[in-house]
A and B are shown apart, each in its own frame.
Chain A
Amino acid sequence: MNDYETRLIKCFSAVFSGLSEAELQSAATTNLANWDSIATVTLIALIEEEFKVEVDMDDLERLVSFESVLGYLKSREAT
């Protein structure tokens, strides 16, 4: 597991407590009932704090799973 993934799990774990690492890695708005708008705002704030990035509000609609967030962060690093 790379550093990005570990740090992102920490962020997801702070918002969605009680889930295993595997469950967090497969987390998505479609399979987590408590991934609501408040959870999204909190998650984004945590990610911005942890990764020192500013998430564009236009990108929010595609950040709907652990995988998509991880891909987003990696793409931000690449640019």
Chain B
Amino acid sequence: MKLIDALKIIQKSSGSSTATFKVALVCGFTPLHLQTFLQAELQQLFTDHRVEVVTGLYGDLRGTLESLRIETLDAVAIVLEWFDVDARLGIRQLGGWSPHNLESIHERAILFLRHLKQLVENVSRSTPVAVSLPTLGFPPIFSNAGWQAGEIALRLKQEVASFGVQISQMNGVKVLNQDRLDHDSVSSERFNARSEWSSGFPYQLSHASAVAKLLAMLIRNPLPKKGLITDLDNTLWNGIVGEVGVDGIHWDQDHNSAHYGFYQQMLKTLSEEGVLIAAASKNEPSSVEAAFNREDLLLTKDAISMLAVSWGSKAQAVSQILNAWNVGAESVVFVDDSSLELAEVSLAHPEVECVQFPLGDPQGIYDLAIRLRDLFGRGMISEEDRFRSQSIRSNSELRRLVAEDTEGFSDALLEQAEAELTINVSKDPNDTRAFELINKTNQFNLNGRRVTEAAWRTYLQEPDTFLLTASYKDRFGALGKIAVITGRVGDKRISVDTWVMSCRAFARRIEHQCLKAVFEKFDRDEIVFDYVSTSRNMPVAKFFSELLNDEPASPVTISRSWFDTKCPTLFHRVTERNDE
């Protein structure tokens, strides 16, 4: 981004929204253009907020961190450079570069980083923190020539790396990926000595822009996509199976096709991380079946949740898969080598992210893997991620039984399901799954509202709020944590602010059991729901309609006696956990 574009974005946004997203930029140098770029990058990501970036005192990174009014902030961005670790590692402070000083620089670095770690830990308890470790090189302080790494320099880097490892393990702290920064900002074009001496701003504009962009992504933390639909011929393997036969398709080194194997390995890995993988192919089903029976295929059949193979259109195949997965099109990626097929799918499903498979371009395939990592990247793999594919299959089995049984999940079927629901009412701000569910669920969502990490933590700290989560399993498999309710407990009634439930958990009366748990746990006679109709939350509207015998109006109020009368028979075995 150019500086002029950043300033224009900021100018355009001023006064555009009343909701503010406030970020503290904590650095030891004059924040100057980094502040401008960060504000502009964040503004592009938080379009429904007016972004404000506040800064601290020059030369006092730790002091700025200590004096932050955390309760007013939505996020903190810390940009560390070597001269923060010790001023002698900069060019503005002339504290002496004597060889006798080097050991003391290392010792001071250890103390500085230890203190900084404590400060980061304190701040991260209330506010998400993004940290950029030193991005600039050392000045020529060490005795060795430039092509040789000096011992003290290596030790300093080791200390910073160790600091990075430790803070990356803290909840709410994310560390900027130096490899990505190296890709986006050439290291020899980062430092601006003239600007550092004249104004205390050490970055070239291009470097400031690159750092700001990555920090903004860390702060925004976009939700990962859930599913990938891939083409097969000339995408998952080299060749057209219907023409060359099962033995004529390749993905190995011997046939100059290793990049296809690499793509298969990428999809297999994503599958193991909980991403839903499906294939959409214009083919004879028997040919594809035979191909998937090959033992050397890296993306094995068990890693694929659905094969949509026919001579019908790709758009139809994608519809089938979306229907089976029951996920929003916006959380799905479609990969195909044909521009025409991509255009067709894009037209039918504009929210699906369509990605061209770079046929015959090994470098392009490597770059595609990097892009897939960005689209599906997650900080950690949760239990629910591992359950996802399994529960999709379980749902299919359950649906098959339902089809054989009645039009819905009958009492008999639910009774035989051996369902267990675990209710947890501990207010754990680090419950990333609850936070994630609230921010990605569209269908069973009380009002469609999203919440920032900082607002989430603040909300849970309020004494009258509660967080109830529900985890589910039955004989068809475990679904993991699938429902979240937050609200406030008043003297006479409970106010529910948020209620979401994963679409994988529909039709099992889990929503009834959750309400029952809220009534029983907090022992109030009435629940008031902050219901708002959205374009996507029809399942919530349907649930209230059935319960109230009427169309729901905002807010929805349900009394305990009414609920007891209307609640269908529930077959779950309920256990309660409180991890506090």
Given pairs A38-B32, A42-B32, A46-B7, 9 additional interface contacts (CB within 8 A): A14-B3, A14-B8, A14-B11, A42-B3, A42-B7, A45-B205, A49-B2, A50-B4, A57-B198
25 residue pairs bridging A and B, Cβ less than 8 Å apart: A10-B4, A11-B4, A14-B3, A14-B4, A14-B8, A15-B7, A17-B11, A41-B32, A41-B199, A41-B201, A42-B3, A42-B7, A42-B32, A42-B33, A45-B3, A45-B33, A46-B3, A46-B7, A49-B3, A49-B4, A49-B205, A50-B4, A54-B194, A57-B194, A57-B198
Complex Cα gap A50–B4 (Å): 8
- Distance (Å) between the CB of A7 and the closest chain B CB? 10
B36 in contact (CB, < 8 A): yes
B: interface residue count bin: 10 to 19
- Distance (Å) between the CB of A66 and the closest chain B CB? 16
Q: Which residues of B contact A17 (CB under 8 A)?
A: 11
- Distance (Å) between the CB of A26 and the closest chain B CB? 20
Specify the main secondary structure of chain A where it touches its partner. helix
A: interface residue count bin: 10 to 19
- Distance (Å) between the CB of A38 and the closest chain B CB? 7
- Distance (Å) between the CB of B37 and the closest chain A CB? 11
- Distance (Å) between the CB of B559 and the closest chain A CB? 55
39-55 of chain A: CB within 8 A of chain B:
41-42, 45-46, 49-50, 54
Complex Cα gap A36–B502 (Å): 54
Complex Cα gap A46–B205 (Å): 10
| With known contacts A41-B199, A57-B194, A46–B11 Cβ distance under 8 A | no
B198, closest chain A residue (CB) = A57
Specify the main secondary structure of chain B where it touches its partner. helix
B positions within 8 Å CB-CB of A: 2-4, 7-8, 11, 32-33, 36, 194, 198-199, 201, 205
Q: Which residues of A contact B4 (CB under 8 A)?
A: 10-11, 14, 46, 49-50
B12, closest chain A residue (CB) = A17
Which 3 pairs show the lowest CB-CB distances between chains A and B?
Answer: A14-B7, A17-B11, A14-B4
A positions within 8 Å CB-CB of B: 10-11, 14-15, 17, 38, 41-42, 45-46, 49-50, 54, 57
B7, closest chain A residue (CB) = A14
A38, closest chain B residue (CB) = B32
Q: Which residues of A contact B199 (CB under 8 A)?
A: 41
- Distance (Å) between the CB of B43 and the closest chain A CB? 15
Q: Which residues of B contact A54 (CB under 8 A)?
A: 194
Complex Cα gap A57–B192 (Å): 14
Complex Cα gap A50–B7 (Å): 13
A14, closest chain B residue (CB) = B7
B4, closest chain A residue (CB) = A14
**From B2, B4, B33, B199, residue with most partner A Cβ within 10 Å:** B4
- Distance (Å) between the CB of A60 and the closest chain B CB? 9
Q: Which residues of B contact A15 (CB under 8 A)?
A: 7
Q: Which residues of B contact A14 (CB under 8 A)?
A: 3-4, 7-8, 11
Q: Which residues of B contact A11 (CB under 8 A)?
A: 4
- Distance (Å) between the CB of A48 and the closest chain B CB? 8
Complex Cα gap A79–B570 (Å): 87
Complex Cα gap A45–B11 (Å): 17
Complex Cα gap A53–B32 (Å): 20
A50, closest chain B residue (CB) = B4
- Distance (Å) between the CB of A5 and the closest chain B CB? 16
Complex Cα gap A42–B195 (Å): 11
Complex Cα gap A50–B3 (Å): 9
A54, closest chain B residue (CB) = B194
Q: Which residues of A contact B198 (CB under 8 A)?
A: 57
A41, closest chain B residue (CB) = B199
Complex Cα gap A56–B298 (Å): 60
Q: Which residues of B contact A45 (CB under 8 A)?
A: 3, 33, 205
- Distance (Å) between the CB of A4 and the closest chain B CB? 16
Complex Cα gap A14–B40 (Å): 13
A18, closest chain B residue (CB) = B11
- Distance (Å) between the CB of A16 and the closest chain B CB? 10
Q: Which residues of A contact B194 (CB under 8 A)?
A: 54, 57
Complex Cα gap A17–B205 (Å): 21
Complex Cα gap A56–B8 (Å): 26
Complex Cα gap A52–B11 (Å): 24
